[in-house]
């Protein structure tokens, strides 16, 4: 068992646990985008960064890939971390504004502006589809191509794949294509709509057997606030 401190609270976990899992154990919220239970963590989105270490040697690492070490001092919401998260969300909005997942993150973290040249990409290269195809569906039909700015995703030679079994797993896990933000007006790239939306779940007392289709949604937090 490894002993470390997260946000000042001591915690004891098994060797091999990641900081993300340890923080979840204690209940500290860390936003993620490219992480999914059942798939090996990749560390591409950099949203889950936390600050470790002390003094001038303190640095930010992605909590989904960093394994616990004895005596570590972890801060999940220091000012450096918050600044970083906000900027990354801004960059995400600048690339893929029509993804509801990204818009919800913007609402949740108080990001109201996007100051870069606007792009409308469908892909943030989080790698969830690649890992789903390889690790869960054992097909390995799609993968990363190219490098740097020109990195992209697709089947080899971008032609129909022989190994793809049309399972739809890649579409299922994709944060950009699973849910589209429908309140996003073309003039504004930042919606913040879901923060204002009154989804049915806020009046759950009236609808006992209703199932929420928008989880995770910021509205759940608003509901708790209202209570």
Q: Pick from 60, 56, 27: which is nearest to 43 by CA? A: 60
The closest alpha carbon to 20, from 62, 58, 82, 53, belongs to: 62
Interaction residues for another protein, span 35-64 (CB under 8 A):
42-46, 49, 59-62
Three-state DSSP state, 85: helix
95 or 99: CB nearest another protein: 95
Residue in 11, 35, 36 with CA at minimum distance from that of residue 23:
11
Q: Which of 57, 147, 206, 227 is in the footprint of another protein by CB under 8 A?
A: 147
* CB atoms near residue 6 (< 10 Å): 23
Nearer residue to another protein within complex by CB, 110 or 146: 146
Is there binding between residue 112 and another protein (CB under 8 A)? no
Tokens 């943030």 belong to which residue? 124
Torsion of CA 63, 68, 73, 77, to 10 degrees: 20
**Of positions 2, 84, 181, 201, contacts another protein by CB under 8 A:** 84
User: What character string, x for contact with another protein (CB under 8 A) and - otherwise, covers 156-195?
Assistant: xx-----x--------------------------------
Q: Which residues bind another protein (CB under 8 A)?
A: 42-46, 49, 59-62, 65-67, 69, 80, 83-84, 87-88, 91-92, 94-95, 115-117, 124-127, 140-151, 155-157, 163
């Amino acid at each position: 068992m490894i002993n470390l401190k997260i946000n000042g609270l001591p915690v004891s976990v098994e060797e091999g646990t990641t900081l993300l899992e340890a923080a979840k154990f204690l209940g500290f919220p860390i936003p993620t985008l490219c992480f999914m239970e059942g798939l090996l963590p990749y560390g591409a989105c950099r949203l889950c960064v936390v600050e470790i270490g002390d003094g001038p040697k303190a640095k930010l690492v992605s909590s989904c890939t960093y394994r616990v070490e004895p005596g570590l001092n972890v801060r999940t919401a220091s000012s450096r971390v918050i600044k970083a998260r906000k900027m990354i969300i801004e960059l995400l909005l600048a690339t893929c504004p029509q993804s509801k997942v990204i818009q919800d993150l913007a609402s949740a973290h108080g990001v109201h502006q996007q100051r870069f040249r606007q792009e409308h990409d469908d892909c943030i290269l989080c790698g969830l589809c690649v890992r789903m195809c390889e690790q869960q569906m054992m097909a390995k039909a799609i993968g990363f191509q190219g490098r740097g700015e020109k990195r992209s995703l697709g089947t080899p030679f971008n032609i129909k794949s022989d190994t793809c079994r049309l399972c739809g797993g890649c579409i299922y896990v994709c944060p950009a294509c699973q849910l589209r933000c429908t309140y996003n007006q073309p003039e504004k790239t930042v919606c913040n709509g879901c923060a204002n939306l009154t989804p049915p779940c806020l009046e759950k007392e009236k609808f006992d057997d209703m199932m929420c289709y928008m989880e995770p949604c910021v509205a759940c937090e608003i509901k708790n606030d209202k209570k």
